Structure formats: C-alpha cells, structure tokens
Chains A and B, each alone.
Chain A
C-alpha cells in the first residue's frame, strides 16, 4: 500500500462546508476525511492532503483524486 502526501504551493486557508457529492467520513473543525471507494483522504484547510492506502504505483489515480477534491473546493 502507498500513501500520497500532497502539499499545495499556496495555502488555501479554509475548509468548505461540504465537498458536494464527495462522501465526508470524518468532519472536524481542523480537518476532514473524505472517503473514496479505494482510499480515504485527510484534508486540511491549508490544502494539504494525505491520500491513504492506495495500491502501489497509483500516481495517476492520486492525481485524479486531487483534481476531484480541488474542483469541489475552489
């Protein structure tokens, strides 16, 4: 299993109330965890993310996940 640590170039500074159709597994004032069919993603207001437990060699999938989250954020 692999994790992907995503660090934004510029901090975003807030967490949206929801991520539209994405499933929020854990909601905390300081972070949330979004659940995808193949992994969980911990997200912070800064835009920093941890994509947890994708299978090894999932770079493309990780990029897709980041795009999906950011598209519903900004």
Chain B
C-alpha cells in the first residue's frame, strides 16, 4: 500500500490536518468526490422514474452501487442503501413483526444506534436483555448463550466497538444465536471500513454499516439482508419507487431492495458509495487491516510511556481495529481534544462516543475518554506529533 500516493487522494490533508477521527466519519478520496460531482454535472436526473437518457444512466449507476456493495461483502441477498448505519438498524427494528413477550439480546458495548431502537420496542412489550462485557470489550460467549432463550427474536451486536476497537467473533455469535432460533443483526459501522467482512461466512441475517465511514459520502449507509429473512422484513417507509401497482384497496410491493428505499434516494451518495468500495477494492482490505494494525501497535506502545495514561481495549492489535480510547489522570478528555487541535491540528473525538453504557458503567469514565481512530491515510509520523503534544500537556 503506497501511503504517499494514497494521501495525495485526500485533498483535506493538504492543510496539514492530522485526522484521527475516522470513527466518526472518514475523509473522502478524489475518486469519490469525482463520482459525486460527475452525477451532478452529467447525470443529474431521478432514478427509476424516466425513459430519458439521463435517468437511464443515473439509474444504472445507482443500481450498480448496490451490486458493488453486495459483491464486495460477499452477500447473496440484498443490499439496501440508507442514509447511515442508524437508519439501517432502524429498518430492522421497524421491519420485524414483534410480539409481546419477545426479547432482544444485545450488549453494554453498543453504540446508541444499536441500543435505542431496541429500547423503544419496550413500549410494545419487547424485553431487552443486555450482556455486560469485560473492560477490554470481550464478550463471554457462554454468558451470551445463556441469555438467549426461545423467546429471543433477535441478537443485535456490534462487530467492532467504537470505543475499544474490540473485534467480536461474529461468526461464533451468529452460530450460537441461530442454534436457538434467533435472527442476528451485526452493527458493522466500525468493522466494514477496516476489516474484510464476508456476509455469507458470518451467516447473520442483517449487516448494517456506515458508508460515510468507509470513504463514502455523508448521508450514506447500507443494510445487507440475507435471502432467508428478506420476506420477514417489512419496509419502514412506503412511497414512490416501492410498489409495482396501487389500487384504491391495495398496493403491491416491488420484490427487491427498492421496496426499502421509498422516495427519491440520495442518488449521488449511493453512486459515491459505489466509488468508495471500488477504491477500497484497489487497495485491498488485507492491506487496510495490515496498515491499521501497525499504526495501532505503534500508538499503544508510545502511549504507554506517558505518565497517568490509561489505555482501553485489548493490548493485542490483532484483536482490535484502529480505535484507541484513553484517559489521562487529572486531564479531562475534552481538554485533551481541544489542546491537540489547537496546538497540532490533530482531530480526535472526546466524550462518551454515543456509548454511555460502556464508557460510564464498564469503563467508569464519568467524563468520557479521548479517542483516536485511524484509517488508510494516517501514518506513524502523525502519531509522533500526537505523542509530542500529549507529553507537553502533562
């Protein structure tokens, strides 16, 4: 992976920005920016709604983005493009037919987006069982299995923690859940951009992720559905593009992903997301992973040398993504973040990271943590600058 060449593709880096907040959203490379602009310059038309050439070309590009996603993640079912991972998860929450007495199993590790849609179902008499994890984010599979019973309709778990980086054994989790008759949703927001994800191998029913965290435009995410459950999921919204026929008495839904994308979609976003996937294909996810493991190992090593430092997540870089949360004794996380930005142009995140249960109740960090999250454009020299500034402020 040629770092120098890759960095040239990210115009925002020219300002000297050190961007360590890809866990929130990633930077966008020129091919993605070009794809979005190309749509507006040359293909601006609605999709699936016209016989004219611009519409045909836009429709083809938008449809191809769905195919590209499905192939990239080795999916045999459908890919639905959403506005983010949160919407993808909500599609499932709203689409399953819940009954009083059903339960959902999830964990303390979850981002609010894979927690609150399930909490909301409590008003429908659905119970939410929440499994605690160890402080490094490892889930006990036996405890998970014990929590799943005959009334468990869904197990919803993060593939990789947005706070700790911990990678869960999603294939094993899926197997456990399936043996007990539960469907499985994996929140891949922090995994899909960074790991080779094989939807078929995992065997889960739903895989949700953020397009905008994997070099795609803002306002993009996606949901992969396997063929076994596609008919069990009802669309959250209905409207234009979702039906083949409407009469006064009834309507007939389209028999593919379009029934889940009501109205005019984020066409440029979807096309841009397809371009993002092509960009990652060229680099290869193996190289992405290798690069991030090197950076993570290097950062973990260098952080250890700082007095008062507390580092969260697995010590072994192979067991985590490039997400590293830490705190420094007597220095609030927000202060760390603003000092890094003001003194070094370094962008990190600070606070609870939309994961209150994990940060407050497992990590016991009541003021939150500082979080570095890497991607393909980051380097060891950037880490050295971060460490230099941290040493200045202790």
Q: How far is B338's CA from A46's CA once the two chains are assembled, in angstroms?
A: 13
Q: Answer yes or no: A3 CB below 8 A from chain B CBs.
A: yes
Given contact pairs A1-B367, A53-B367, A31 touches B332 in the complex (Cβ within 8 A):
no
Using A1-B367, A28-B393 as known contacts, say yes or no to A33 and B338 having CB atoms under 8 A apart: no
Out of B335, B343, B367, name the residue touching A30 (CB < 8 Å): B343
Nearest-neighbour CB distance to chain B for A47, whole angstroms, equals 11
A24-62 interface bits toward B, Cβ cutoff 8 Å, 1 = contact, 0 = none: 000010110100000010101010101011000000000
Would you call the interface of chain A mostly helix, strand, loop, or mixed? strand
In the docked arrangement, what's the CA distance between A42 and B332, Å? 11
Chain B count of residues within 8 A CB distance of the other chain: 10
A31 to B338 CA separation, bound complex (whole angstroms): 11
Interface residue from A1, A46, A48, A52 paired with B335 (Cβ < 8 Å): A52
The residues of A that contact B97 with a CB separation of less than 8 Å are none
The reply to whether A50 and B338 contact each other, CB–CB distance below 8 Å, is: yes
Q: Contact at A48–B367, with CB atoms within 8 Å?
A: no
Name the A residues within 8 Å of B335 (CB-CB): 33, 40, 42, 50, 52
Instruction: Tell me if B339 counts as interface (CB < 8 A to partner A).
Output: yes
Q: Is B392 at the interface (CB under 8 A from chain A)?
A: yes
Contact with A46, one of B334, B342, B367, B393 (Cβ below 8 angstroms): B342
- Tell whether A48 pairs with B392 under 8 Å between CB atoms, given A1-B367, A30-B343, A53-B367: no
Task: State how many angstroms separate the Cβ of A1 from the closest Cβ of chain B.
Answer: 7
Number of A-B contacts (CB under 8 A): 29
Contact of A3 among B334, B339, B342, B343 (CB under 8 A): B334
Q: Mark B322-363, 1 if CB is under 8 A from A, else 0.
A: 000000000010110011001100000000000000000000
Q: Which residue of B lies closest to A42 (CB)?
A: B335
B338 and A48 contacting across the interface, CB-CB below 8 Å: yes
Report yes or no: A48 in contact with B342, Cβ–Cβ below 8 A: yes
- Bound-state CA distance A3–B363 (Å) is 21
Bound complex: CA A22 to CA B334 (Å) = 22
Report yes or no: B332 in contact with A53, Cβ–Cβ below 8 A.
Answer: yes
Cβ contact within 8 Å between A52 and B342: no
Which residues in B have their C-beta under 8 angstroms from that of A44?
A: 342
> For the complex, what is the distance from the CA of A30 to the CA of B341, rounded to whole Å?
12
Cα distance, A52 to B333, chains bound together (Å): 10
What residue in chain A is nearest B338 (Cβ atoms)? A50
**A23, CB-defined interface residue at 8 Å:** no
Residues of A within 8 A of B334 (CB): 3, 50, 52
Closest A-chain residue to B341, C-beta based? A48
Which residues from chain A sit less than 8 Å from chain B, CB to CB? 1, 3, 5, 28, 30-31, 33, 40, 42, 44, 46, 48, 50, 52-53
10 further contact pairs, Cβ within 8 A, besides A31-B343, A42-B339, A46-B342: A5-B338, A40-B332, A42-B338, A44-B342, A48-B342, A50-B334, A50-B335, A50-B338, A52-B332, A53-B367
Could you give 12 example pairs across A and B, Cβ below 8 Å?
A1-B367, A28-B393, A31-B343, A40-B332, A42-B335, A42-B339, A50-B334, A50-B335, A52-B332, A52-B334, A53-B332, A53-B367
The 10 closest A-B pairs by CB, nearest first: A50-B338, A44-B342, A3-B334, A42-B335, A52-B332, A30-B343, A52-B334, A48-B342, A50-B334, A42-B338
